Amino acid sequence: MMTVKSSSLGYPRLGEKREWKRALESYWNDGSSKEELLATTKELRLASLQKQADAGIDKIPSGDFSLYDHVLDTSVTLGIVPERFKYTDGEVPLETYFAIARGNKDAVASEMTKWFNTNYHYIVPELDNARPQLTFNRPLFYYNEAKNELGLETKPVILGPISYLKLAKGYEEDQFETLLTALIPVYVQIFAELEAAGVKTVQLDEPYLVLLTDKKELNYYKKSIAAFKEAAPSIQLILQTYFERLDHYEAILELPADGFGIDFVADHGDNLRSLLQFGFPEDKILAAGIIDGRNVWRSNLKDKLALLTLIQANVPAERLIIQPSSSLLHVPITVAHETTFEKTLVNGLAFADEKLHEIVLLTKAVRDGVSSIQTELDDSFEKYTALQKADFRNNQTVEAELTSIQGEEVNRALPYAERILLQHEALNLPLLPTTSIGSFPQSAVVRQKRAAWKKGNLTEADYRSFIKEETERWIDIQEGLDLDVLVHGEFERTDMVEYFGQQLSGFQASTFGWVQSYGSRAVRPPLIFGDIAFEKEMTVEETVYAQSLTEKPVKGMLTAPITILNWSFVRDDITVDKVANQIGLALRKEVLALEKAGIGIIQIDEPALREGLPLKEERWKKYLDASVYAFKLTTAGVKNETQIHTHMCYAEFDDIIDTISALDADVISIETSRSHGDIIEAFEVHTYDKEIGLGVYDIHSPRVPTAEEIKQNISRALQVFPPEQFWINPDCGLKTRHESETIDALKTMVDVTKEIRKAYN
């Protein structure tokens, strides 16, 4: 008898204690062989599959695992490799795979950008001269591995061709259908081989479907899905979407898929309204994403059961799948290792494993009745309620501060055109000033010292002394390189968001709450669990010490409200705007403390501003207005002579250039080199009136850029910006790079800048 099923859409790759990351980096650093890397990652992959099976998940995904990025996996599966990597045919070698992602001595890496509005980065496919071919049936390999090694019947996960093309570059809009036509036979071959192997269900991820505006484009989806069903008629094909609502709901449900995965969490209630208004096809499966796949809080299971009751009024249990709203790639693996958390907080959390448990509970409730989970339901609701009522979520002092700023003016005293003249006089910098973004390499010694200090094996005094020594060493290095504006290096910080989360009230840093950002880069987003308040100075001591070592200006370095918000797991009981303003008020006190201590340049980074932009354009203005307000709340109190910098990561800046200007930062730096200069086109059609630095070399790649590459990037920018407006800097912070490559790259950058300056003397 058919009944409701539970499902997962994807599981984190890192390993509970970042075993995946260590295996990759050991291989990259020649500490282990390819065979050892593949053996370790296979062990992790199989353990993750078995864990989901043991949890009681009915439909377990396979092929969601990756050695770097699932979009890159799709590219090499389809034989789409940029020509500069000298690939011919056959299975793409592992060395080539990693070269596309990281670059090598002969070729720059492919562009990397954000996966929709998340902090996960994917490798952008390059379709110039693409000739699609099936190099290796990756979904089939992972399906067979799970079946042969564990006896598990899994659900292969495949990134669909339309989303793949929409996420790619290197073609004109009128070439889209031709490229899709070339891709479909390769996908057809994949599906045919999966059916021959006995695959029962395939999860075809088409997340771009939530961005569909032109209803005519549904023909692309219809064409591809019809081809796949013809090639593999016995496979149950679930068309999976996530991150937003489906426009053209009724038309989408006419597509020839066997079922549809729909997000009922990040849809603002719109998908549910569509379901209740238009119903659901009687011959289709609904894979309902009702557990939040992107945040970490325990669900109110009573609310979820009420939602399921509404859904079941339109979709009977035998055609219902209960699952997360998205892949669990975006959350940590398990709460089990967070042994230092306060009890109310830890009981209020649900990481990936705990979310799977919630899904299984809800599935059982639908299958066997609510009474079958009553004990677990009552326990979960009690823990959920305790978190909402906790004192740390009801801080009256913070509430009074927020009330007091309502209607407050948050502009600088003088407009930019007037205050920049005062800043030039105070700073006396050369034309095309050089600087770095903030962090310098965190060597093994730095990490060892921090770990020893945290474990109590190094005294506070000895740790502070070491930080000062490292700061002094890098001030000397920067002066030797002849950079114009220096930084203290951030050796005391593990992460640009986590560091502040460790020092502001209302935040909790996790121990093993790691999430993949890009490649082996893992971050631990802090948990914003309560009201946020400033407690003590956070950066003043280190910055003032660095400034005491040099006559050159040293930047104070902070992370801005929206980036802290977007790179944290944010409480979901109040609006995000209110949380952002709490952060802005707290950071304002730190900014004023830096200024009072004599720091004349303060950089307040907003790299995640664009990535948080809602996927639906109708929601943009509210988000952007709130972002500008929170940033200006942080900066508006400083003197005119204090120069405010900010930094942003690469994105489609055409959408937000007006917002960037509205932040009213005196200088902005933007990550651009991986876009190969494409971003400059945005500034050719939009006038930007403040000072700016467009990153002149890529810090995500271990290769040292050539002088000619940097010169080309600077010269391209100077075709758009006058030299008086332009700064020279790397793309991003240098924390993840090795010391030698960092010094060599910065030296090249400074030498090229000095050469270019001569043309203006």
Would you say 439 is a known binding-site residue? yes
Q: In 10 A of CB 508, how many CB atoms?
A: 22
Give the angle subtended at the CA of 201 by the CAs of 197 and 203, to the nearest 5°. 115
Reduce the secondary structure of 550-598 to three states and give it as a string: CCCCEEEEEECHHHHHHCCEECCCCCHHHHHHHHHHHHHHHHHHHHHCC
- Beta-carbon contacts of 479 under 8 Å, excluding residues fewer than 6 positions away, are 486, 550, 552
The verdict on whether 700 is a catalytic residue reads yes
Could you tell me which of 51, 24, 22, 12 has the C-alpha nearest to residue 516? 12
Q: What is the 3-state secondary structure (H, E, C) of 383-435?
A: HHHHHHHCHHHCCHHHHHHHHHCCCCCCCCCCCHHHHHHHHHHHHCCCCCCEE
Rounded distance between C-alpha atoms, residue 311 and residue 9, angstroms: 20
Does the annotation flag 28 for ligand binding? no
In angstroms, rounded to a whole number, what is the distance separating the alpha carbons of residues 451 and 437?
25
| Active-site residue, from 337, 686, 700, 738 | 700
Q: Is 119 annotated as a binding residue?
A: yes
206 is in an annotated binding site: no
Element (H, E) at 321: strand 320-324
Gap between the Cα atoms of 486 and 622, Å rounded = 36
Alpha-carbon gap, residue 528 to 509, rounded angstroms: 9
Beta strand 601-605 pairing with 643-648: parallel
Q: Is 5 annotated as a binding residue?
A: no
Is residue 342 annotated as involved in ligand binding?
Answer: no
Judge whether 649 is annotated as a binding position.
Answer: yes
The answer to whether 114 is a known ligand-binding residue is: yes
Q: Is 698 annotated as a binding residue?
A: no
Instruction: Please give the C-alpha separations between residue 278 and each of 207, 285, 616, in angstroms, as whole numbers.
Output: 22, 15, 21
Reading the block at residue 515, the tokens are 């999430």
For residue 232, the tally of other CB atoms under 10 A from its CB is 20
The answer to whether 611 is a known ligand-binding residue is yes
Report the distance separating Cα 566 and Cα 608, nearest Å: 6
Gap between the Cα atoms of 165 and 124, Å rounded: 10
DSSP string, 733-759: --TTS-HHHHHHHHHHHHHHHHHHHHT
Say if residues 728 and 693 touch (Cβ distance below 8 Å): yes
Mention every residue, 6+ apart, whose C-beta is less than 8 A from residue 628. 659, 662, 663
Identify the sign of the CA torsion 498, 503, 508, 510: positive
| Cβ neighbours for 287, distance < 8 A, ≥ 6 positions apart | 7, 238, 240, 259, 260, 261, 262, 321, 323
18 annotated ligand binder: yes
Question: What span, in angstroms and rounded, lies between the C-alpha atoms of 359 and 185?
Answer: 36
Residue 551 marked ligand-binding: no
Residue 712 CB contacts under 8 Å (≥ 6 apart), including other chains: none
Residue 437 marked as a ligand binder: yes
**643 and 635 in contact (C-beta within 8 Å)?**
no
Does the annotation place 671 within a ligand binding site?
A: yes
Residue 485, strand partner residues: 435
Residues in the chain: 761
Q: Residue holding tokens 């790649």? A: 701
> 708 among the known binding-site residues?
no
Phi, psi (rounded to 5 degrees) for 691? -75, 150
Residue set of the binding site for Zn(2+): 647, 649, 671, 732
Task: List active site positions.
Answer: 700
Binding site as annotated, residues for L-methionine: 437-439, 490, 605
Would you list which residues are annotated within the binding site? 18-21, 114, 119, 437-439, 490, 567, 605, 611, 647, 649, 671, 732
